[in-house]
């Protein structure tokens, strides 16, 4: 049977992937773990601390640039917006495929 994983492993690695930590020492302090354990976890999950941190910094930079440009924050589209887009697309499709009124269909 495989050894049980440390209870903080998934939580800490999630925060690392998010870019919350910049160094191994920070992870060691927060998790009260030895350096070897932290390095082994990062190696096993193939996580590069520097690139994860840069992704977070890039998203913060984009957020601030959008604020300066007066644009709204980037987030997932709401259901209301998706419904509005779908309604508009259906209306356009119906208009394109509508039968002209001058064409009469034969009635039985």
Successive 10-residue mean pLDDT values, the chain, 108 residues: 80 92 94 94 93 92 92 85 95 89 64
Distances (CA, A) of 73 to 54, 76, 79, 83, 84: 19, 10, 17, 20, 20
pLDDT at 75: 82
pLDDT at 1: 61
Cα of first residue to Cα of last residue in the chain, in angstroms, is: 76
pTM, two decimals, is: 0.61
- Contact residues for 12 (Cβ-Cβ < 8 A; gap 6+): 27, 30, 31, 38, 41
């Amino acid at each position: 049977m495989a050894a049980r994983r440390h209870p903080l492993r998934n939580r800490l690695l999630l925060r690392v992937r998010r870019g919350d930590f910049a160094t191994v020492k920070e992870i060691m302090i927060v998790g009260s773990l030895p350096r070897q354990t932290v390095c082994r976890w990062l190696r096993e999950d193939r996580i590069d601390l520097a690139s994860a941190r840069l992704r977070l910094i890039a998203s913060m930079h984009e957020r601030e640039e959008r604020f300066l440009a007066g644009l709204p924050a980037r987030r997932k589209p709401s259901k209301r917006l998706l419904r509005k887009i779908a309604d508009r697309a259906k209306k356009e499709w119906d208009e394109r495929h509508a039968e002209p009124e001058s064409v009469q269909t034969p009635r039985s």
